[in-house]
Copies of this chain bind each other. A is one copy, B any other.
Amino acid sequence: MYANVFANVCNLILLFFDMKKEITTLKMLAQNLNLSISTVSRALNDHPDISDDTKIKVKNLAKSMNYIPNIFAKGFRKHKSNIIGIIVPNITHYFTATIVRGILEEASKQGYRVIISESNNDVIKQNEMLNTMIQFGVDGILASLTKMTKDIDNILPIIDTLPFILFDKVSDKIPCTQITINDEEAAFNVVEHLINIGKKRIAIIKEREFSYNSEKRYAGYLKALKEHQIEIDEKIILSVDDISLQHGKRMANILLSIKNRPDAIFAITDSAAVGVIQTLNKFNIKIPEDIAVVGFSNSKYSTIIEPKLTTVDQPGNTIGKTATKYLIKEIENDNTNDIATSKTVEVKTQLIIRESTFKIS
């Protein structure tokens, strides 16, 4: 309160004497030191043409006069904003949020700001956001796609315009560097773990074909079964449009109703797995003795549900950081998506074994 009143009084005084709260510019520094603006600019940017003496003088004065470079003038001149744009489908997902955190950390460490948009899995919105981001002069874009990877026509023109990197929800149809987890290997490990604890009839709840991650995990599932010579039964391979807790419940009911019940259920998402567990609990089916359950993500839910859920930990922080590192490298080398430099980086996951598969004696 008092502080505000005081500040207002100050403003009045400033107004009275017609003193604008002046922002220090290069010009003012130059005048103060009897140097030219260009010399001051170069001194601050450590240009080799400038002697150490003057560099020190300039920098000291700049500090004492609280000089802040005008970001607009700079960006205007250099066509660089030091802002990177990021697009995610849903920022409220815990895993997504951890990736965002990784991005924020790395970006801020390297002197970049981050502007965020949410696509809500809406392709139209996603494209709008890409465009407005470019309009806003971001130096590069980090994106996690909507599930409908089919619609990539609007993305292809972009990747030749400015640095563009995909993470998490990627697509092999877009030629740019991609940071993702080793979905296939992770799923393989899940299924192998189930086999190792003696399960022989392993169901999977996955998404339909359009989902890149889901297909990869499904591939891992198939590979593990084949490698262990377990026959594949399509009756216990279930696909849903939107993998959620509700659908997890529905699918669990379906699996319970078939004559030859599975002895394990691999839901490719933690929330679906939670739905499965809740349903099994309702019918007093013993987990993991009767049916074991595995999820994917190591979300917070996995330790809250009873029994605690075996799942796959995805290091969101690492994904965010590496994606950002690659993007900034591309920005600063001015490679707008060169095929030669495009990489696919797979970040290691870890199987977290908990009660939903462990209590086998």
Describe A's contact surface by its main secondary structure. Answer: helix
Quick one: which of A141-160 are within 8 Å of B by CB? 156-157, 159-160
Q: A210: CB under 8 A from chain B?
A: no
> Known: A304-B301, A339-B5. Is A98-B92 also a contact (CB below 8 A)?
yes
With a 10 A CB-CB cut-off, give which of A72, A83, A278 has the most chain B CB atoms: A72
Contact of A1 among B81, B135, B175 (CB under 8 A): B175
**Of A109-117, A194-202, A215-223, which binds chain B?**
A109-117
CB distance from A302 to the nearest CB of B (A): 10
Contact of A304 among B5, B68, B304 (CB under 8 A): B304
| A70→B91 CA distance, assembly (Å) | 29
Asked if A115 contacts B114 (CB within 8 A), the reply is: yes
| A115→B68 CA distance, assembly (Å) | 19
Chain B residues near A91 (CB-CB < 8 A): 91, 97, 100-101, 104
Provide the A263-302 mask, 1 if CB < 8 A to any CB of B, else 0.
Answer: 0000000000010001001000000000000000000110
CB distance from A103 to the nearest CB of B (A): 10
Chain B residues near A75 (CB-CB < 8 A): 72, 75-76
With a 10 A CB-CB cut-off, give which of A115, A132, A278 has the most chain B CB atoms: A115
Chain B residues near A7 (CB-CB < 8 A): 156-157, 160
Contact of A72 among B117, B137, B306 (CB under 8 A): B137
Q: A118: CB under 8 A from chain B?
A: yes
With a 10 A CB-CB cut-off, give which of A1, A116, A301 has the most chain B CB atoms: A116
With a 10 A CB-CB cut-off, give which of A70, A76, A301 has the most chain B CB atoms: A76
Asked if A136 contacts B117 (CB within 8 A), the reply is: no
CB distance from A118 to the nearest CB of B (A): 5
| A3→B104 CA distance, assembly (Å) | 31
Contact of A136 among B100, B113, B132 (CB under 8 A): B113
With a 10 A CB-CB cut-off, give which of A92, A116, A160, A337 has the most chain B CB atoms: A92
Provide the A34-75 mask, 1 if CB < 8 A to any CB of B, else 0.
Answer: 000000000000000000000000000000000011111101
Q: A11: CB under 8 A from chain B?
A: yes
- Given A72-B137, A83-B136, 5 more contacts at CB 8 Å? A7-B157, A8-B160, A11-B160, A97-B97, A100-B116
Q: Give me 11 A-to-B residue pairs in the complex whose CB atoms sit less than 8 angstroms apart, sorted by A's number.
A: A1-B339, A68-B134, A69-B135, A73-B76, A76-B76, A91-B100, A92-B97, A108-B132, A113-B133, A113-B136, A301-B301
